[in-house]
Structures are given as C-alpha cells and as structure tokens.
Amino acid sequence: MTDNLVKLLLAEDNSGKEALSESEDTQNRLGQHEKIATLGQLSLGFIRQIAKPLNVITIGMEFLGNVLPKIDEKLKEPVRRINQAVNKANNLVDDFLQFSRTSEFELESVDICQLLDEAIDLFGHRALANSIEIHRNWCEELIEVKANKNILQQVFINFFTNAFDAMPKGGDIRINVYNKKLEEVGNRVGYRATDHFKTGDRAIVVEFEDTGQGIPKDILPMIFQPYFSTKETEKRAGLGLSMVHLIVERHQGTIEVESAANKGTRFTINLHPAGNEIG
Ligand SMILES: Nc1ncnc2c1ncn2[C@@H]1O[C@H](COP(=O)(O)OP(=O)(O)O)[C@@H](O)[C@H]1O
Ligand SMILES: [Mg+2]
C-alpha cells in the first residue's frame, strides 16, 4: 500500500507544516465528528417515538399480509413492497438504537487478542465460503487494553463486515496487534490538553487490513459520517464506521485509515493499555 497512498488522519494532524487549506479541512472534519455525538443524542428521543408506531405498522402488516392476498391476488405485490419498506425502517431503527447504546459503558482490562480471536471465530465460516484468508499477527504475550469488551467488539465486527463487502472475489485480511511507544508527531500525541495520548505514552495498536477494492480519495473524508454508504443493499445503513469512530472516541483512542484503489484498506486504532488512567 505504498503507491498512490491516500491517508486520512482522523486524529489531529500535528505537523503544522501542511498548507492552511489542508489544516482547515482537518478542522472541519473534526468538527463534523463532534457533531455526530450531539446529533445522536438529539435523534435518540425522536427514533424512540418513531419505533412505537412502527411496531404497530409491523404487527398490522403481518396480519394484513396473510389476509389481503387471499382476498385479492393482485394485492400480493403491494403487500410485499410495503413489508420490504417496513423491514428497512425496522433495520434502521434497530441499528440506530444499537448505535446509541454505545454511550452506556464501563471499562475493564480486556485481552485484546482473545477478543480478536472471538471476532475471527464469528466470521470464520463466511471467510472460508468467500475465499478470504484471515491472518493474525501478534505474539503470545498477554496484551490487555482498557476497554468495554462487548462494545469494542462492535468495532472489529464492523471492520470484518466492511472488509467482506470490499472483497466479493476473496482476498486477505491481516490483523496486527502490537505495543508501541508514541513518539512521532501525529496520532493526537501530547500537543493539547484534550489529546488522548501524551508523547512517550504506550499504546496498543491494532491494524486491520484488507486487500479489497479500496476507498476512492474523494470518498475517504466521508466514510465516518452517519448514514454515508456506497452500498445499495437493503441491509447496509451506513452507520458502521460512524459507530466505530464513536466507540474509539469513547475509549479515548485514535483511528486512522489508509487506502489505495484496488489494493486495499488499512484501519489503525490506538488503544490504552490496561494500566493507563482514562475515563
Ligand atoms: N474495508 C473497506 N474497503 C472499502 N470501502 C470501505 C471499507 N470500509 C468502509 N468502506 C466504505 O465506507 C462506507 C461507509 O462504511 P460503513 O459506515 O460501515 O457503512 P456501510 O457498510 O453500511 O456502507 C462504505 O459504504 C464503503 O464505501
Ligand atoms: Mg459497514
């Protein structure tokens, strides 16, 4: 992934030597990500209100779906289409409610490699069926991060889901885990009071790479926005990566993405080792 590399640092760019327009662009992006949290809270009450009548419609359509086509065969197709729309609405509501639950969490020491092993197990069969090989690259020693296990797992589930979508003809997924002392610029290290890491801090790095279609340069700044999706399938709501971003933020971690067309994509997250004081 060296040629034509497109890189988006969601974390603050500390180089300070970039052209002004580029740094303004970074600020805009950061502003957008802060808006996500506010928007989420505002929308939660609204979605809960929508969920109630939607439930009535769902139950009503289950009943009418059985009755109406028996009365008139021509009603079969409209009933099918209404059911499809109701399902889509239910999926969106479910995704949103799951997304909002990420705000209720407690931190503990989590064996990150075991967590990744569990995620790999979940996707093992699908990988085999889709000619996707999963490579785990970490050492035997215990690596513990400060995290909420179930919520952090959502990050990897989303990475897997997206990687599978990006490799319809098969490919490789490589997961690297290592412990790193943060010294270089970038990565939100040590420059502001709000930075999640300080220079010299240790971070647990998880790299998640695929050899899929990659993300075009013009789309890269949008992938973490809620409801942004390039996929047409009924199932995908475009909430996956905004949820990932929110979860990493809640863990006071950082996330970066690098992608090259037709070569692949790599997400890198920095998490706090179990001993770090956060939260
Ligand atoms: N591993 C990946 N490879 C290629 N494109 C990706 C990858 N991960 C995310 N994307 C792009 O980012 C968009 C947003 O991802 P996401 O928030 O998970 O929404 P969804 O998967 O529902 O479309 C995707 O529609 C896709 O265009
Ligand atoms: Mg997704």
Q: What string of pLDDT tens digits covers the 279 residues of the chain?
A: 433 334 443 433 333 333 334 445 555 555 555 665 566 667 777 888 888 999 999 999 999 999 999 999 999 999 999 998 998 888 888 877 776 665 566 889 999 999 999 999 999 999 999 999 999 998 788 999 999 998 899 999 999 999 999 999 999 999 999 999 887 645 445 445 556 888 888 999 999 999 999 999 999 999 998 888 998 766 677 889 988 998 898 898 999 999 999 999 999 999 999 977 665
Report the DSSP pairing between strands 254-260 and 202-210: unpaired
CB 161 within 8 A of CB 198: no
Q: Whole-prediction pTM value? A: 0.71
Residues with CB under 5 A from ligand 2 (ion): 162, 240
CB 259 within 8 A of CB 209: no
Q: pLDDT at position 17, please?
A: 36
pLDDT of res. 34 = 60
C-alpha to C-alpha distance for 279 and 276, rounded to whole angstroms: 10
Contact 1, 258 (CB under 8 A): yes
Exposure of 86 by Cβ count < 10 A (0-12 exposed, 13-18 middle, 19+ buried)?
middle
Q: Are 55 and 16 in contact (CB under 8 A)?
A: no
Q: Which of 27, 11, 6 is nearest to 185 (CA)?
A: 11
Q: Which phi and psi angles does 36 have, rounded to 5°?
A: -55, -45
Q: Which of 3, 73, 8 is nearest to 223 (CA)?
A: 8
How many angstroms is it from 159 CA to the middle of ligand 1? 9
Instruction: List the beta bridge partners of residue 206.
Output: 177, 269
In sequence order, what are the beta bridge partners of 180? 203
Determine which residue's CA is closest to atom 24 belonging to ligand 1.
Answer: 229
Give the pair of three-digit tokens for residue 166.
């990006």
From the CB of residue 121, how many other CB atoms can be counted at a distance below 10 Å? 9
Judge if the beta carbon of residue 240 lies within 6 A of ligand 1.
yes
pLDDT at 22: 45
Ligand 1 centre distance from Cα of residue 191 (Å): 31
Ligand 1 atom, smallest distance to 210 CA: 1
- Atom in ligand 1 nearest the alpha carbon of residue 212: 3
Helix/strand number for the chain, H first, E second: 5, 8
The neighbour count for residue 211, using CB atoms within 10 Å, is 20
Helix or strand (DSSP H, E) at 243: helix 240-250
236 lines ligand 1 (CB under 6 A): yes
What is the topology classification, in CATH, of domain 6-16+106-271? Heat Shock Protein 90 (3.30.565)
Per-residue pLDDT, 237:
77
The pLDDT, as a whole number, for residue 265 is: 97
- Distance between CA 14 and CA 19 in Å, rounded? 12
pLDDT at 28: 53
240 alpha carbon – ligand 2 mean position (Å):
4
